[in-house]
Amino acid sequence: MDKTIPASLIIDLDGLNVEVVDRMAAEAGVTPEQLAKEALKLHLQRYTDRLAFNAACERSLQHYRETGLHVTDDEIDAWLSALEAGNDNAEPPKCHR
């Protein structure tokens, strides 16, 4: 099954959304089409970022299950507190079992 999206895409909005899009586009000084393109672009970027974040989390969890290596909340908190206090040379905690 071909899931290719055509270069032009028609999105049917209900009356309320049409008014909102028209008003927002006018306030932004762009056309409704430009507003919709930017909104879609931002949505797709957030979706892609979320997928990448979830994949990184899965990889990290798998690594932890395989090795047992970790740092504790207290260790991370102490390191972040040192950074917050201005100690830019604070060493991050070392992973351990």
pLDDT number for residue 40 = 93
Does the global pTM surpass 0.85?
no
Checking if the pLDDT of 14 tops 90, the result is no
Is residue 8 a part of any domain in this protein?
A: no
Number of domains in the chain: 1
Query: What's the rounded Cα separation, in Å, for the pair 2 and 21?
Result: 30
| CB-facing half-sphere around the CA of 47: CA atoms within 13 A | 6
pLDDT number for residue 3 = 72
User: In whole numbers, what is the pLDDT of the chain averaged over residues?
Assistant: 93
Checking if the pLDDT of 16 tops 90, the result is no
The confidence band for 2, taking pLDDT boundaries of 50, 70 and 90, is low
Which residue in this structure is represented by tokens 């990290």?
A: 60
Checking if the pLDDT of 15 tops 90, the result is no
pLDDT digits (tens, 9 = 90+) for 21-61: 999 999 999 999 999 999 999 999 999 999 999 999 999 99
Is residue 31 a part of any domain in this protein?
A: yes
Domain limits for position 61: 15-68
